[in-house]
Structure 1
């Protein structure tokens, strides 16, 4: 008889194990058996909860997106100015929870796999749209719309690029330097716009 209430805990354990396995391997070349072992459940139970490995990978990516959305929403809720909204979005993307070595490796692996997986490509498009929208929520009050779109796109590219660069290094991710780099770009663009007025 299955224990009542265990399914959400086991699903979460399997998703965490997936992130851990991808982070260690640096690719999606992990087996359901390996993931199940890390989660402390049988391979059969992992298949029962998620079906095929591709379904577990998609669930893992949805989980990462959901965590990022929750954190971003909370940060934007307390941001009191348009400029603070943009900084909040940047900070969340480099927070201790988001900018961990295994999470970074998982994102990079998902980007690679999205080239051949329509489901993962769709999830990455959702991520990109949300990031652009969240950045625009502050930038449109600081810059003309066309300029705001350009700065939001470049800021998002910097965030994604810093994840890629970080995935290629060893050691603990340096969130403070990543935030400083993106903030420096943003401040430069805002100062240029203010001088042009």
Structure 2
């Protein structure tokens, strides 16, 4: 293994260890020591690769964003898709097994909480929100005027985020996530039935 690949592997291991530590201890009780214990590496390597705990937390959040982005891209690359199919794929990408996993859900929830106090995380949260809204706006925009598409995108984004959070906090998250995905898709289907291609409510 080359030195560059070895570095990438260690960085990935530390990111996964961070998620495991957050799932077990919570963000506030996650330390360089708990992360290094999960990774089976010395604590000094975290500072070497990430500059400290906060740098590693930021990298972990970016990893989750990348997983979300790749899940969507893999679905959208399946050939010619209708606008309806594109919109449903966006929902699917937000409810993959990766995004449903305990380490991911604990990390996302901790990230949202901490983003209210940490400027870097707050910026990442805004980027993530804009990405979701933009993807939905594009999908709806293939069927209706831009102003209507943006309005429906805002509603759908709120629906996805709300159902995801409710599912993550549910006593039975896996069942709740499955139901949430169905309900979010049904919400989109209802919007497309309600609004014609000109974006006006059907009479």
Question: Partner residue of 1:109?
Answer: 110
Aligned counterparts of 2:27 and 2:66: Cα–Cα separation in 1: 21
Instruction: Encode CA deviations 1:91-115: one digit per residue, 9 max, x unaligned.
Output: 0100112222221111111111000
Partner residue of 1:186 out of 174, 188, 196: 188
| 1:45-194 aligned within 5 A | 45-78=45-78, 80-174=81-175, 175-194=177-196
CA contact (8 A) 2:167 2:180 kept: no
TM-score, with structure 2 as normaliser: 0.89
> Gaps (5+ residues) in structure 2?
none
Instruction: Encode CA deviations 1:15-70: one digit per residue, 9 max, x unaligned.
Output: 00111111223434300110011011011112211112111000101111111111
CA contact (8 A) 1:36 1:43 kept: yes
Number of paired residues? Answer: 195
Aligned counterparts of 1:156 and 1:117: Cα–Cα separation in 2: 23
CA RMSD of aligned residues (A): 1.7
Aligned CA distance change for structure 1 residues 25 and 164 (closer, same or farther; 3 Å): farther
1:172 offset after TM fit, Å? 4.3
CA contact (8 A) 1:108 1:163 kept: no
Higher RCO structure, 1 or 2 (CA under 8 Å, sep 6+): 1
1:80 offset after TM fit, Å? 1.1
Aligned counterparts of 2:33 and 2:157: Cα–Cα separation in 1: 36
CA contact (8 A) 1:104 1:163 kept: no
Helix, strand or coil for the counterpart of 1:196? coil
> Gaps (5+ residues) in structure 1?
none
